[in-house]
Amino acid sequence: MESIYIKPDEMTPGINLDKERNIFHFYGRSLPANAHKFYKNVLEWVIEYSKNPNPNTTITFDFEYFNSSSSNKISQILFHFEKIREKGFPVYVEWYYRDNDEDMKDVGELMSELVDIPFSFHMILS
């Protein structure tokens, strides 16, 4: 399975999905002009990964900010990872947020209520 690496910029997040190295990392800012188009390949990759997942999967989210259309896509990504967990494969989420950004922590807590995946929250000191 080919990896996905998207370099972050001012409007789009960095994404590193590498099954072989067991890396599932989303970071930066997500404000794409068209979230559906931007996340299309990412969602397809996660769906393909879910057919033959690694024995353990830990997804890392380290967003500075994301808009509502990105939030919808992130939720969809989490739903697909939840299906992996439902198959009996351990899946975990590590959610990072800045010490001066309680909103991002709150969003992570809301996301954790949407899916049956254990979340751990990590504060990054500014």
What is the per-residue pLDDT for 55? 98
Is 90 exceeded by the pLDDT of residue 126?
no
| 8 Å CB contact between 75 and 112 | no
Average pLDDT over residues 60-80: 97
Number of DSSP helices (H) and strands (E) in the chain, helices first: 3, 6
Strand order in the sheet with 4-6: 4-6, 14-18, 23-30, 57-66, 91-98, 119-124
Domain encompassing residue 18: 4-124
Give the E-state strand segments of the chain in sequence order: 4-6, 14-18, 23-30, 57-66, 91-98, 119-124
CATH number at residue 43: 3.30.750
What is the per-residue pLDDT for 42? 98
Average pLDDT over residues 71-99: 97
Average pLDDT over residues 69-98: 98
| 8 Å CB contact between 114 and 72 | no
Q: How many domains does the chain have?
A: 1
- Cβ count near 25 (within 10 Å): 17
Question: pLDDT, tens digit, for every residue of 28-44?
Answer: 999 999 999 999 999 99
Say how far apart CA 82 and CA 103 lie, in whole Å.
24
